[in-house]
Amino acid sequence: MSEVFKTVPAESMAGSASLDADAVRAAYRRWAGIYDYVFGAVSASARAEAVAAVNRAPGVAVLEVGVGTGLALPLYQSDKRITGIDLSAEMLDRARSRVRQQALANVDQLLELDAEDTGFETGRFDIAVAMFVASVVPHPIKLAAELRRVVRPGGTILFVNHFASESGPVSWVERAMAPASRALGWHPDFAIDRLIAPEDAAGLTARRMRPFGLFRLVSMINPPRVER
């Protein structure tokens, strides 16, 4: 079941304080050794569903942002050519080991790059997917803009993330956990409105994913570029 993606005015997007790149690196340096066993298990169903959406999307050149330890890499169809990027050298080391051990010939590159400023040429990819990244990067709006830049017009952009609940007991827990953002390496209280500016929200859809609707899959078709 899909839901229409709604945003709020930009002035309400301030939300919780952003994580800086050093905080993200430090957090994932701590988590790298146990990431697959802890978060990997919780996110397995959402990850598989997201990769299935990538596999259905037209085109072959795929950018996976926040590839981490490479948990998603074996799930891609062999005809998809994968470039993975991450800010954590430790996580990438584990992803490269996975590629070697499983002989994943369709993984072209695994690079240590900033998701907000990748340096890739404009329109290089047919598809971009950012799983569990939006609440980690310092400036989510910049992440979304960079993916729109590097994906060709008409290409597919997918985000998978936990987004804060609007009300109820879960929202109270999320707000209570917010001060621990730097240690966790992600924002438990991350608002969906911080990712997409209102003027860019046309045509976006979001649907809840297992388990328990904890994550949402947000998808869009990259619009044609407007020359300024």
Say which CATH number the domain at 87 has.
3.40.50.150
In a domain, 47, yes or no: yes
Residue 74, in any domain of the structure:
yes
Number of domains in the chain: 1
**Structure token pair of residue 100:** 């070697």
Residue 136, SS3 per DSSP: coil
Closest of 188, 61, 213, 94 to residue 134, by C-alpha? 188
Q: Are 84 and 67 in contact (CB under 8 A)?
A: yes
Q: Strand runs (DSSP E) across the chain, as ranges?
A: 3-4, 61-65, 81-86, 107-112, 125-131, 151-161, 205-209, 215-221
Q: Which residue has the tokens 């407007």?
A: 226
Domain that includes residue 23, residue range = 3-221
Q: What is the pLDDT of residue 3?
A: 46
Domain membership of residue 21 (yes or no) is yes
Q: What is the pTM of this model?
A: 0.76
Closest alpha carbon to 129 in 73, 38, 66:
66
228 within a domain of the structure (yes/no)? no
Domain-located, residue 119: yes
Q: Is the dihedral of CA 104, 106, 107, 108 positive or negative?
A: positive
Task: Tell me how far CA of residue 134 lies from CA of 49, 74, 78, 168, 191, in angstroms.
Answer: 17, 22, 27, 23, 10
CA-based nearest residue to 147, from 68, 66, 228, 222: 222
Name the residue type at position 127.
I
d(CA 57, CA 49): 13
CB 6: neighbour CB atoms within 10 A? Answer: 12
Q: What value, to the nearest 5°, has the Cα angle with vertex 45 and ends 92 and 49? A: 85
| Residue 146 in domain | yes
Q: What is the pLDDT of residue 175?
A: 44
Residue 227 lies in a domain: no
- List per-residue pLDDT tens for the chain, 228 residues long: 344 444 433 333 333 444 566 655 665 565 555 656 566 677 789 899 999 999 999 999 999 999 999 999 999 999 999 999 998 899 899 999 999 999 999 999 999 999 999 999 999 999 999 998 888 888 999 999 999 999 999 999 999 887 655 544 444 334 443 333 344 334 444 666 778 777 777 778 888 877 666 788 999 999 887 665
Q: In this predicted structure, what is the pLDDT of residue 177?
A: 36
> Among all chains, which residue has been given the structure tokens 């989510």?
140
Strand order in 3-4's β-sheet? 3-4, 205-209, 215-221, 151-161, 125-131, 61-65, 81-86, 107-112
- Residue 186 in domain: yes
| Gap between the Cα atoms of 100 and 104, Å rounded | 7
